[in-house]
Amino acid sequence: MTLDELELQCRNCKKCALCEGRTNLVFGVGKKDADIMLIGEGPGENEDLQGEPFVGRSGKLLDKFLESIDLSRNKNVYIANMVKCRPPQNRDPKPEEQDMCIQWLREQFKIIKPKIIICVGRISAQRLISPDFRVTRQHGEFIEKGGVLMMGTFHPAAILRNPNNKELAFADWLKVRDKIEELGIEVES
- The least CB distance from residue 82 to ligand URA, in Å, is 8
Three-state secondary structure along the chain? CCHHHHHHHHHCCCCCHHHHHCCCCCCCEECCCCCEEEEECCCCHHHHHHCCCCCCHHHHHHHHHHHHCCCCCCCCEEEEECCCCCCHHHCCCCHHHHHHHHHHHHHHHHHHCCCEEEEECHHHHHHHCCCCCCHHHHCCCEEEECCEEEEEECCHHHHHHCHHHHHHHHHHHHHHHHHHHHCCCCCCC
Asked if residue 41 binds ligand URA (CB under 6 A), the reply is yes
Q: Give me the 92-111 binding string for ligand URA, x by CB under 6 A, dash otherwise.
A: --------------------
Phi, psi of 114 (to 5 degrees): -70, 155
Please give the residues from 139 up to 158 whose contact with ligand URA meets the rule CB under 6 A: 157
Residue 161 vs 181, nearer CB to ligand URA: 161
Asked if residue 54 binds ligand URA (CB under 6 A), the reply is yes
Among 44, 87, 114, 152, interactor with ligand URA by CB under 6 A: 44
Piece of the chain touching ligand URA by CB under 6 A; list 52-60, 69-77, 139-147, 167-175: 52-60
Piece of the chain touching ligand URA by CB under 6 A; list 42-50, 69-77, 92-100, 168-176: 42-50
- The least CB distance from residue 47 to ligand URA, in Å, is 4
Among 28, 30, 43, 152, interactor with ligand URA by CB under 6 A: 43
Query: What is the binding site for ligand URA (CB under 6 A)?
Result: 40-44, 47, 53-54, 58-59, 81, 121, 157
